[in-house]
Structure 1
Amino acid sequence: MPDHRRPYRRETEERRREDLIAAALDLVAEGGLHAATVRAIADRAGVTPGLIRHYFTSKEELTRVAYRRLMQRMTSDSAAVLLDAPDDPVARLASFVAASVSAPVADPVALGLWAAFLHDVRRDASMRAVHTAMYLDFRDMLQGLIAALPRVASDAQLRTEAIACNGVIDGLWMEGSILAEAFAVGEIIAIALSATGSILNVDLTSAYKPDRNIP
C-alpha cells in the first residue's frame, strides 16, 4: 500500500492547519466520512494525532471546517469569472451561470465530497448551520447578479427567481459532475443558460461569450 503521508517539514501555524483540512478532504474523497479518522488525518498530514487538538477542538469541528472550505471553494470558483467578465449585467450573469456548471466547479471529486458530508448535514445541527450559510452565500451572490439585470423586479420576485435558478444550476452541476461523458461538449452550459434565461425572461445564451470569459 502506498504511503500517503506528507513529508515532515516545519510549517507556519496556518499552513499546518490548512494541511489538516486538506488531509481530511482527501480522506473523505477516497473513502467517505468514516475513513477520515483522527489517526488517518494526522498520518496524511504528517503530524501526530495529538497535534490536531491544537488546531481543532474535536474531529467534528475539523469536519465542519473542511465542509465549509469545500463549499467556499466551489462558490469562489464560480465567482472568479466575474473578475474578467464584461460590465453588461446580462453577460455577467451568463458567465456566472456557465462557470457554476463547468470545471473546476463541476467535478466528480467535489460532488462525492459534497454527498459524503450530507449525512452529517442531516443529523448534526452545526453541520446544517454551515450548509445553510454556504447555500445562502451562493444564492445571495446569484440574486445580486439577477437584481442587476435591466428590468424592474420586487425583492420577493428576485428571491423566488434566485431560488429557482439555483435549483437549475444545482441539478445540472450534479449531472455534469457525475456523468460528464453523457453530454456533448457545451451541452450542460447551453441548457443552464437556456433554463435560467427562461426563468428570468432574459436571453443569457446570446450574452454568453466563452472566448471572452470562461470556460
Structure 2
Amino acid sequence: MNRRSFHRAGEAERRQDLITATLDCIAEFGLQGATVRQIAGRAGVTGGLIRHYFEGKDQMLQAAYRETMEAMSTPAILAAEMDGASARQRLHDFIVANLTPPVTDARTLSLWAAFISHVRVDPEFARIHRENYLSFLDALETLVRQFLTESGRPADPAECRDYAIAINGLIDGLWLEGSLAGDLFDDKPLPGLALKSVSALLGGLNLSDNDQTL
C-alpha cells in the first residue's frame, strides 16, 4: 500500500491497515524484531501518524493479538451458529473448523507462538487471552449440551463444562500438531481423529458419518 492510498482511507480502515502491517512484521521478524519503523514502512505511513491510532508499540501488539485470536476462533463460532443445522452437525463443523485452514497454517502458528509468551507478563495480553478462551469455551459448552440433549442424553451444566474443557484441550493439542507437522497426518486427517475422540469422550455418540468430508 502506498502512503497516498492510506490517507484516503477511513479511520477504521487506517487502523485495520496498521494492525495488518503489525501482523505481517511479526510474522516476518518476530515480536521483538517488529519495530514501529518497520510497521510504519509496511503500512506506508509515518511513525507520527501511528501515534494518532495507538499510544505506542504495546497497544499495537495488543490489537494485533486480539485480531489473531478472533481470526482463530471465528470459523468455529460461525459453524456453531449455522442456521437450520442439527446440534450434531454444528458440533461436527465446529471441531472440523478448528483443525483445518485457515486456522491450521504456518503463519497462524508463528503469530500465536510469538504472542503467547506475553500472556503471562502483560496484563492486557492475559485479559485478551482469557476473554477469547472463555468465549470459545462457552460456545463449545452450548454445543455439547445441545448435542447431548438432541441425542437423548441431557447432562447438567457442570458436566457439559467439563466436557467442553476436555474437548478444547484435545482440539488445542491436535491443532498444534497439525500446524507444526501437518504432512505427517496425510493418511489420518486430524479432524477425523478429533471427531472419533470426541465421540468416545461423549459416550460413543457418533459425530461423523460416511457422508462427512473430514
Sequence identity (%)? 40
In the TM superposition, residue 61 of structure 1 has moved relative to its aligned partner by: 1.1
Is 1:25 aligned with 2:28?
A: no
How does 1:98-117 map onto structure 2 within 5 Å?
98-117=96-115
Q: Which residue in the other structure is 2:207 paired with?
A: 204
Is 1:193 aligned with 2:195?
A: yes
Letter of the 1:74 counterpart: M
Question: Which residue of the other structure, out of 58, 69, 72, is the alignment partner of 2:70?
Answer: 72
Aligned with 1:205: secondary structure?
A: coil
In the TM superposition, residue 36 of structure 1 has moved relative to its aligned partner by: 1.7
CA distance in 1, matches of 2:54, 2:79: 33
Which deviates more, 74-83 or 21-30? 74-83
Letter of the 2:177 counterpart: E
Contact persistence 2:31–2:115 (CA under 8 A) = yes
Q: How does the TM-score come out when normalised to structure 2?
A: 0.90
Matched positions, count = 206
CA distance in 1, matches of 2:78, 2:21: 25
CA distance in 1, matches of 2:40, 2:165: 39
Q: Which residue in the other structure is 1:7 paired with?
A: 2
Change (3 A) 1:127 1:203: same
Letter of the 1:41 counterpart: I
Aligned with 2:117: secondary structure?
A: helix
In the TM superposition, residue 100 of structure 1 has moved relative to its aligned partner by: 0.8
In the TM superposition, residue 72 of structure 1 has moved relative to its aligned partner by: 0.5
Letter of the 1:51 counterpart: L
Q: What are the Cα deviations for residues 100-136 of structure 1, in whole angstroms up to 9, with x where unaligned?
A: 1111111111011001001111211111111111111
CA distance in 2, matches of 1:137, 1:47: 35
Aligned with 2:161: secondary structure?
A: helix
In the TM superposition, residue 79 of structure 1 has moved relative to its aligned partner by: 2.5
In the TM superposition, residue 208 of structure 1 has moved relative to its aligned partner by: 6.8
How does 1:129-148 map onto structure 2 within 5 Å?
129-148=127-146
Aligned with 1:44: secondary structure?
A: helix
Contact persistence 2:82–2:90 (CA under 8 A) = no
CA distance in 1, matches of 2:112, 2:68: 8
Q: What is the RMSD computed on CA atoms of the aligned residues? A: 1.7
In the TM superposition, residue 82 of structure 1 has moved relative to its aligned partner by: 4.3
Contact persistence 2:76–2:94 (CA under 8 A) = yes
Change (3 A) 1:12 1:37: same
Gaps of 5+ in 2: none
In the TM superposition, residue 207 of structure 1 has moved relative to its aligned partner by: 8.2
CA distance in 2, matches of 1:108, 1:62: 22
Q: How does the TM-score come out when normalised to structure 1?
A: 0.90
CA distance in 1, matches of 2:28, 2:143: 36
Question: Which residue of the other structure, out of 153, 156, 174, is the alignment partner of 1:154?
Answer: 156
